Amino acid sequence: MSPSRPLPDTTGVAVVGGGTAGLAVAVLLGRRGIPVTVLERQPEPAPAPRGEILQPNGLAVLARMGLLDTLAARPCAETVRYHFLRIGHGPLATFDYSELDHPHPTTLVLLPGELDTVLREAATALPTVSLHAGARVSGLCRNGERVTGVRVLVDGAEHTLAARFVAGADGAFSRVRRELPVGGRTVTYPEGYLTGLLPRPAGFNRDGCYYLGRGEILGLFPVSKDALYFFYLLSPAQYTARRAAGDTRWLAERMRAIHPPLGEAALAVGGWRELEFFPCIRVSTGRWYAPGAALLGDAAHSVNPHVAQGRNLALVDAEALAEAITPDLLAGNAPSPARLHRWERQRRPQAEALRALGDELVLFWNAKNPLLVWLRDRSFKGLARNPALRRQVTADIAGMGPLPLSPVQRARLISPW
């Protein structure tokens, strides 16, 4: 991004947030000749030490944008199968994306910075898009109810940027959402994730492994040919206590005990500076738009990482929102409330279904209660025996839904027959 480039006074679309949602919508609008100004508060990209799964729905958007091959040529791991295992017991079920009827029946696991780099490069190549790093949006400008621009802080000085439309892509704690009369609720889940990277041990194949225990989860996913991404469930209080104790050796030893083939690679876990703790946030928003503005990505609907969909939903939202904004915006025709309403109606059911699925997975996967653990393990074993239901669950996580299981299907999973 360009911290030194002066901010314009006016723009077509002011995009608040230069993450996946903001960069994707900027590329899509910029390619249609619409002037876009992206405002990102971070002075430079600060990629998190974690891997993320791009699902078939997100891959399809990137393919339509012509960026999938560029992304796939960067460090990443194509992962087709995810094994769920019970800690200390053995396999529960395997989900195989190659069984899906989808043009991209696979996932790409990568460092999130890789995707944002590809999007940023595509945006930078467009004369219609200007990217501004170190530009924090501090509020919205209005004429009556209508949003007419943003106030931006750059190097401590406040600027006003007039815009025909404002896209709030500023993440789960969205400033834009707080300023719009859209209602909303943010909930922090009881547990978050400690994440980091390890050297990928020889013999760790291309599959992802998800270990579930009683109140314990360890995920191990290849993220490139050399690196393995891990995530370990912890509550904020556990994280604070572990951190205060100083040493990270407990983590290396626990990972090695859960997945013995990690061997010496687990010892490369590093110190606290190489790890990061992420609380998990759920955002529900009453409405995703107001006159002159819309919310997308985590700003509209942050879901639990168990469904591995947040970044994919951000891409799909961006594509749909860009279609709702037409070049006659510049002649004063910002998308009407009716058009934005249609956009929200198109996108909301999937986001809500995945949010509900995320809550359900938190209840069962994170469970300590023996009954919930028993039901969870039994459901996984039911899925292992039932290819049609397993495919349906995989398709839901792959973003092909909403396709939630019916009560009868759920009962079938835990029945002994």
**For ligand FAD, which is the closer residue by CB, 287 or 306?**
306
Measured between alpha carbons, how far is 198 from 59 in angstroms, rounded to an integer? 25
Q: Is 305 in the site for ligand FAD (CB under 6 A)?
A: yes
Q: Which among 413, 392, 415, 416 has a CA at the least distance from the CA of 404? A: 392
Residue number closest to ligand FAD, CB atom: 310
* 278 contributes a contact to ligand FAD by CB under 6 A: yes
Q: Which of 138, 174, 179 is nearest to 299 (CA)?
A: 174
Task: Say if CB 68 and CB 194 are below 8 A apart.
Answer: no
> Closest approach of Cβ 317 to ligand FAD, in Å?
8
Q: Is 354 in the site for ligand FAD (CB under 6 A)?
A: no
> Looking at beta carbons only, is 299 or 413 nearer to ligand FAD?
299
Indicate the length of the chain as a whole number. 417
Return the number of the residue (22 or 30) whose C-beta is nearest ligand FAD: 22
Residue 310 near ligand FAD by CB under 6 A:
yes
Return the closest-CA partner of residue 117 out of 170, 43, 46, 197.
46
Q: Which of 1, 15, 17, 282 binds ligand FAD (CB under 6 A)?
A: 17
Q: Token pair for residue 55?
A: 């699902």
91 in helix, strand or coil?
strand
Residues 222-241 that bind ligand FAD (CB under 6 A): 231
Compute CA distances 310 → 98, 99, 303, whole Å: 22, 23, 6
Does position 11 interact with ligand FAD (CB under 6 A)? The reply is no
State the DSSP string of 160-179. EEEEEEEEE---TT-HHHHH
Per rule CB under 6 A, is residue 314 in the interface with ligand FAD? Answer: yes
φ, ψ of residue 65 to 5 degrees: the values are -80, -5
- Does 311 participate in binding ligand FAD (rule CB under 6 A)? yes
Site for ligand FAD (CB under 6 A): how many residues?
36
**Candidates 166-174, 250-258, 333-341, 357-365 — which segment interacts with ligand FAD by CB under 6 A?**
166-174
Nearer Cβ to ligand FAD, position 30 or 310?
Answer: 310
Q: Using DSSP, state whether 135 is helix, strand or coil.
A: strand
Residues lying near ligand FAD in the complex (CB under 6 A): 16-22, 39-42, 50, 52-53, 112, 136-137, 169-171, 175, 193, 195, 231, 278, 280, 297-299, 305, 308-312, 314
